[in-house]
DNA sequence: GAGCAACTTTGCAGATTCGGCAAGTTCCGC
DNA sequence: GCGGAACTTGCCGAATCTGCAAAGTTGCTC
C-alpha cells in the first residue's frame, strides 16, 4: 500500500508534508492569502504551528511545494526517455508526463469554476511570485543535470544551463496561459506548441 | 545638476531609495544577510526603520532593487534599437547597454577580492533566491511588451512571452557565470556567446 | 513671502512570523 | 525488549510588518 518501503516514519513525514501543503493551498484559494494564518494551516493538517515551521519556512513555501514537486517530476521523467531520442522531443514527452500526474484537485471531479478562479487569484498574489519562481529555479538545476547527462556535457557548461532555463521559462508560460484562457485548454496542445517553437529556433511569427 | 527637472521632492525620494538599497547590499555583503537588521540599513541611510518600510517591503526587496532597475534598463534599451535590426542582434545590444551601466561598485576601483566573495555569498543566499527571481520576472513582463511592440504581435501572444522568458533565463545564467568564474570574464563575451546560441536555435554541442 | 494643500517621515502599538531550546513521544535496528 | 535516533510540541524572545496619527517639508498660488 505504501509507495515505498521506507518505513512508517518516512511515510508519515511525507504525508504530513503533503497535508500541510494541501491545506495551505486550499485555504488560500478559498479565503485569499492574507486571511490564512499558519495557525489555520497547521490546524487543518492536524499538527502544531511549530511543526509547520519544521516543514516549511513560510506560508509561501508550503503553497508552492506541490508545484515544486511536479517540476522535479519533469526532470526525473527526462532521465527516463530513451537516449537516442532528439532532445526537444524527449523534453516535450517529459513535460507531458510530468503534467499527466494531474493536479490532485482534478483527480475526481471536473475543474470547479470557483476553484479555478481562486487559483487565479492565488498565482497572481504578489507575495507568492518569488516563491513560485524560486521553486522553478530549484527544479531547473535538476533539469540541467539531466540535460548534461543526456548530452554528455559538463553540468556547469553553458549548454545544459541554457536549455534548462529555457524549459523553465516555457513551463512558466504554459502554466500561466493554462490559467488565463477561459476554458482551460488541454495541456498537450500548449506544451507541443511552445516546445515546437523552441525546437524550431523561435522563428519570428508574421 | 539634477538628472530630471522633477523637483527636489522627487529627487530626494529617489536618492533615499538608492541609499537604502545600496546600504542593504553593502551591509549584506560585509556581514551576511542574517547579521543585518532593517534597523542597521535604515541607520546607514540616515532614516528611520519605519521609513525603510515605506520604500521596501523587506530586506530582500531592498537588496534586489538595483538588480531590478538594471533588468528594466535592458528592456528600455531594446526599445531604442532600430526597428529593422534582426531581433537577436537587437537583444544582444540591449543587454550590453544594460550591463554597461556598470555596477556602481566597480565605478572607480577595480573589483575587490573580498567584495566579489561577499557578492557570491549574497546571491547564493537561499532567502534571496525568490527575490531575485521575482525581480527578473517583473522585468520580463516589460521586456515582453517591448518585444511585442517590435514584432507587431499581441502582448499576450505566446511569442513575445517566450522570447522574454528565454532572455530572462539567459541573463540569469550570464550573471551567475560572471560571478562563478574566478577572474570574472568580460560581460561582452558571455552575452555574445549565450545569445549567439539562442539565435542559432540552441544547437546541441558535440 | 505668507499661507495652504499635498506629501513624506516618524514613533508607537498590535499582530504575526521566525528559530532556538528542552522536554515528551514515537519509531527503527539490533 | 531496549537503547538511540528522529519527530513533535510548547514556550519564549527577537524581528518584521502595517495602520494610524502627529510632526516636519515641499510646491504652488496669491
Task: Give me B110's grid cell.
Answer: 577595480
pLDDT in the model for residue A7? 67
Domain borders along chain B are 2-199
A113-130 tens-digit pLDDT: 788 888 888 888 888 888
In angstroms, what separates the C-alpha of A175 from chain B's closest C-alpha? 12
In angstroms, what separates the C-alpha of A7 from chain B's closest C-alpha? 31
Q: What CA–CA distance (Å, rounded) separates B95 from B173?
A: 13
Bases in strand D with any atom closer than 7 Å to a protein CB: 6-11, 15-20, 26-28
> Whose CA is closest to A140, among A168, A181, A178?
A168
User: pLDDT class for A204, splitting at 50, 70, 90?
Assistant: confident
Q: What CA–CA distance (Å, rounded) separates B52 from B50?
A: 5
CB contact under 8 Å between A205 and B159, yes or no, is yes
What pTM value is reported for the model?
0.83
Q: Which residues from B are below 8 Å from A when comparing CB atoms?
A: 60, 87, 129-131, 133-134, 136-138, 151, 153, 156-159, 161-163, 165-166, 168-170, 172-173, 177, 180, 193-194, 197-198, 200-202, 204-205
> Whose CA is closest to B146, among B74, B85, B92?
B74
Average pLDDT for A131-140: 87
CB contact under 8 Å between A162 and B194, yes or no, is yes
pLDDT in the model for residue B158? 92
Count of residues making up chain B: 206
Task: Give me A39's grid cell.
Answer: 495557525
What Cα–Cα distance (Å) separates residue B174 from each residue in A159, B77, B164? Answer: 12, 18, 15
CA–C1' distance A181–C14 (Å)? Answer: 42
Task: Give me B32's grid cell.
Answer: 551576511
pLDDT in the model for residue A174? 92
In angstroms, what separates the C-alpha of A129 from chain B's closest C-alpha? 6
pLDDT in the model for residue B155? 83
Q: Is the CB of A10 under 7 A from strand C?
A: yes
**Average pLDDT of chain A?**
86
Whether A70 has a pLDDT exceeding 70, the answer reads yes
Q: Is the CB of B8 under 7 A from strand C?
A: no
Whether A8 has a pLDDT exceeding 80, the answer reads no
What Cα–Cα distance (Å) separates residue B180 from each residue in A79, A89, A133, A157, B121? Answer: 27, 31, 21, 12, 11
Q: Which CATH number among 3.90.470.10, 3.40.50.300, 1.10.3720.10, 1.10.357.10 corresponds to the domain A2-199?
A: 1.10.357.10
Whether B176 and A141 have beta carbons less than 8 Å apart is answered as no
A75-92 tens-digit pLDDT: 999 999 999 899 999 999
Show Cβ contacts of residue B94 under 8 Å, excluding neighbours closer than 6 positions.
B74, B75, B77, B78, B80, B81
Q: What CA–CA distance (Å, rounded) separates B71 from B139?
A: 6
Task: Give me A128's grid cell.
Answer: 507568492
pLDDT in the model for residue A113? 79
Q: What CA–CA distance (Å, rounded) separates A79 from A83?
A: 9
pLDDT in the model for residue A128? 86
User: pLDDT class for A72, splitting at 50, 70, 90?
Assistant: confident
Residue of A nearest to B195 (CA): A162
pLDDT in the model for residue A120? 86
pLDDT in tens, chain B (206 residues): 334 456 767 888 999 999 999 999 999 999 999 999 999 999 999 999 999 999 999 999 999 999 888 888 999 999 999 998 999 999 999 999 988 765 555 555 566 788 888 888 898 888 888 888 888 888 899 999 999 999 889 888 899 999 999 999 999 999 889 888 877 788 889 999 999 999 888 888 87
Amino acid at each position: 500500500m505504501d509507495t515505498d518501503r521506507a518505513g512508517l516514519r518516512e511515510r508519515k513525514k511525507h504525508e504530513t508534508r503533503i497535508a500541510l501543503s494541501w491545506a495551505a493551498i486550499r485555504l488560500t484559494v478559498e479565503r485569499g492569502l492574507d486571511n490564512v494564518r499558519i495557525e489555520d494551516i497547521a490546524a487543518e493538517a492536524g499538527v502544531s504551528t511549530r511543526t509547520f515551521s519544521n516543514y516549511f519556512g513560510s506560508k509561501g513555501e508550503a503553497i508552492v511545494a506541490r508545484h515544486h514537486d511536479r517540476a522535479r517530476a519533469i526532470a526525473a521523467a527526462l532521465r527516463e526517455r530513451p537516449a537516442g531520442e532528439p532532445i526537444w522531443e524527449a523534453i516535450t514527452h517529459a513535460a507531458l508526463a510530468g503534467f499527466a500526474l494531474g493536479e490532485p484537485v482534478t483527480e475526481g471531479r471536473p475543474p470547479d469554476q470557483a476553484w479555478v478562479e481562486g487559483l487565479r487569484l492565488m498565482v497572481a498574489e504578489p507575495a507568492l511570485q518569488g516563491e513560485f519562481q524560486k521553486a522553478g529555479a530549484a527544479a531547473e538545476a535538476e533539469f540541467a543535470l539531466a540535460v548534461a547527462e543526456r548530452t554528455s556535457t559538463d553540468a556547469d557548461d553553458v549548454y545544459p544551463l541554457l536549455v534548462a532555463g529555457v524549459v523553465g521559462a516555457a513551463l512558466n508560460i504554459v502554466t500561466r496561459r493554462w490559467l488565463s484562457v477561459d476554458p482551460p485548454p488541454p495541456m498537450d496542445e500548449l506544451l507541443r506548441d511552445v516546445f515546437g517553437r523552441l525546437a524550431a529556433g523561435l522563428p519570428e511569427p508574421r
